[in-house]
C-alpha cells in the first residue's frame, strides 16, 4: 500500500523540533493557527509524506503522525503496520488551549496569553495527543476525549464511556462498549463489552509480545482482566483476572493453564465461591446476547 498525504506541521521556533503534524482526511491543504504561533513559540508549514511500505519502520516524526492518522481513520487496523521505534520519534509536548509547545515554555506562554484574556489550560504533557483533535471518526461516541489517544482505531457504533481508555494501535472492530482499558495491540470484536475498570494486557508493559484480543459478542466483566485472548461468545466474570499462567479447572475436572484456552469460543470464566478455583464452563448464548443495539446507534 503506497500512501501519500499532505500535512500541516507545527514545530518549535527555537529548536526546529517537530511538535505535531495534522493530515486532513481528504488530503487538502488546510492550515491551522493558535496563540502559541501568534506569540512565536512555534511555527508551521506544509509537508508531504509518502509511505511506500507499511511494513517498514517509520523514519520521522511526520511519518509517525501519518501512521497514527491511518489507524484513527480506520484505513489500517491495529497490528497491520510497523510502529517499531515510534516513541523515539515523538516529542514530549505540552498540549495546551493555546496550541502545542515544549513543556519548558508553558509558563512563559501562560503569561503572554493572559494579556488576551485567555486562561491557559494544559490538557496533558505526553508524546501522543488526543485523537479527536486530529481525527473525528464517524458513528462513534467518546465521553472523555482525554482518554482516547491518536492512533486509536474506533469502528462505527463504538461507545467509549468516561472510564474507558483506548491507546494507539488498539481499538474496536465493530459496534461495542468500552468502559475499561484497551491497551496497544488489543482489538475488541463486534458487539462485545469491555466492562468498567477492566483491563486487557497489551504488548508494551514489560516488553510482552503476546497480542491479545476479545472476540465477538463477549463480555469482560467490571474490574476483570485478561492476559489471554477471549474468544467469541465468552464471558469473564466481574473481578476475575486471568493471566496466561492461571490454573483453570475444566468441566471434566482437568486443570490447564489459561493460555491453553486463549481464543477458544463459548467459555465462561468464573471463580468458584466455595473452593476459590478458577473454572471454565460452556456459556449459554441466550444469557448474554451482546450489547444493546439501541444504545449503540451513534448516528
Positions marked catalytic: 179
Cα dihedral 11→16→19→23 (10° resolution): 50
Distance between CA 151 and CA 89 in Å, rounded? 15
Tell me the C-alpha distance between 152 and 38, whole Å.
Answer: 31
Other Cβ atoms less than 10 A from the Cβ of 263: the count is: 16
Half-sphere CA count of 179, side-chain side, radius 13 A: 15
The dihedral through the CA atoms of 189, 192, 196, 199 has a sign that is: negative
Quickly list DSSP for 10-44: EEETTT--EEEEE--TT--------HHHHTTSEEE
Q: Which sign, positive or negative, has the C-alpha torsion 215, 221, 227, 228?
A: negative
Contacts of 57 (CB under 8 A, 6+ apart): 82, 84, 85
User: At which residue does the C-alpha cell 464471558 appear?
Assistant: 235
Q: What are phi and psi of 110, to 5 degrees?
A: -60, -45
Amino acid at each position: 500500500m503506497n500512501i501519500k498525504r499532505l500535512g500541516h506541521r507545527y514545530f518549535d521556533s527555537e529548536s526546529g523540533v517537530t511538535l505535531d503534524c495534522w493530515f486532513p482526511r481528504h488530503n487538502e491543504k488546510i492550515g491551522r493557527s493558535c496563540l502559541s504561533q501568534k506569540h512565536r513559540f512555534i511555527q508551521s508549514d506544509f509537508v508531504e509524506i509518502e509511505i511506500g511500505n507499511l511494513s517498514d519502520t517509520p523514519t520521522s516524526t511526520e511519518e509517525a503522525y501519518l501512521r497514527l492518522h491511518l489507524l484513527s481513520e480506520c484505513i489500517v487496523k491495529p497490528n497491520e503496520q510497523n510502529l517499531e521505534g515510534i516513541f523515539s520519534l515523538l516529542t514530549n509536548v505540552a498540549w495546551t488551549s493555546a496550541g502545542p509547545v515544549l513543556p519548558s515554555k508553558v509558563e512563559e506562554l501562560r503569561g503572554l496569553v493572559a494579556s488576551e484574556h485567555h486562561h491557559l489550560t494544559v490538557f496533558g504533557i505526553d508524546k501522543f495527543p488526543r485523537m479527536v483533535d486530529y481525527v473525528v471518526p464517524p458513528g462513534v461516541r467518546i465521553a472523555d476525549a482525554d482518554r482516547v489517544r491518536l492512533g486509536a482505531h474506533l469502528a462505527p457504533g463504538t461507545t467509549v464511556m468516561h472510564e474507558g481508555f483506548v491507546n494507539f494501535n488498539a481499538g474496536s472492530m465493530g459496534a461495542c462498549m468500552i468502559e475499561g482499558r484497551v491497551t496497544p495491540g488489543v482489538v475488541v470484536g463486534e458487539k462485545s463489552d469491555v466492562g468498567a475498570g477492566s483491563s486487557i494486557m497489551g504488548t508494551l508493559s514489560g516488553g510482552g509480545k503476546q497480542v491479545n484480543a476479545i472476540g465477538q459478542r463477549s463480555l469482560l466483566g467490571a474490574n476483570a482482566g485478561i492476559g489471554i485472548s477471549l474468544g467469541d461468545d465468552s464471558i469473564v466474570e466481574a473481578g476475575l483476572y486471568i493471566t496466561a499462567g492461571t490454573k483453570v479447572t475444566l468441566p471434566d475436572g482437568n486443570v490447564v493453564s489459561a493460555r491453553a484456552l486463549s481464543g477458544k469460543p463459548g467459555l465462561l470464566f468464573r471463580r468458584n465461591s466455595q473452593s476459590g478455583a478458577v473454572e471454565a464452563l460452556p456459556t449459554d448464548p441466550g444469557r448474554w446476547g451482546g450489547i444493546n443495539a439501541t444504545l449503540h446507534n451513534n448516528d
